[in-house]
Amino acid sequence: MQRRFIAWGALLTMLAVGIGAFGAHMLKASISEDYMKVYETGVHYHMIHALGLILVAIIAGQWGESVRLRWSGRLLIAGIVLFSGSLYVLSITGIKILGAVTPLGGVCFIAGWICLAWEALSRKN
């Protein structure tokens, strides 16, 4: 689990940098300022939660693997796909119905952090 989540986190942070650079250099001239802000929000949350995934992996290495840590990592990945992914597609295509998917990603982010907190609070030492 630890190696897998570190690998996923590293790949997702790399992807966030690439997607951010694409937006800054290729999209800025072709989408509205409002949609650029939406896109940048997707990149911001993408990067934070990819780094969070690496944190979960490091914690698993310290505390040992657990079901809650596994779910924490899975939910952070799902949140990136649903939250950031929907914002990327929304900002590029203008398909507003995708805005309905974004909150599901937000729920995944929250649930992932709750799993991490629950794991920390359930530890005896």
The Cα–Cα gap between 19 and 29 comes to 15
Per-residue pLDDT of 41-57, as tens digits, reads 999 999 999 999 999 99
Residue pLDDT, tens place only, 69-90: 999 999 999 999 999 999 999 9
- String of DSSP letters for 67-115: HHHHHHHHHHHHHIIIIIHHHHHHHHH--GGGGGTHHHHHHHHHHHHHH
107 Cβ partners below 8 Å, 6+ apart? 79
Q: How confident is the model at residue 61 (pLDDT cuts 50, 70, 90)?
A: very high
Evaluate if residue 98 carries a pLDDT over 90.
Answer: no
Q: Which tokens belong to 51? A: 């780094």
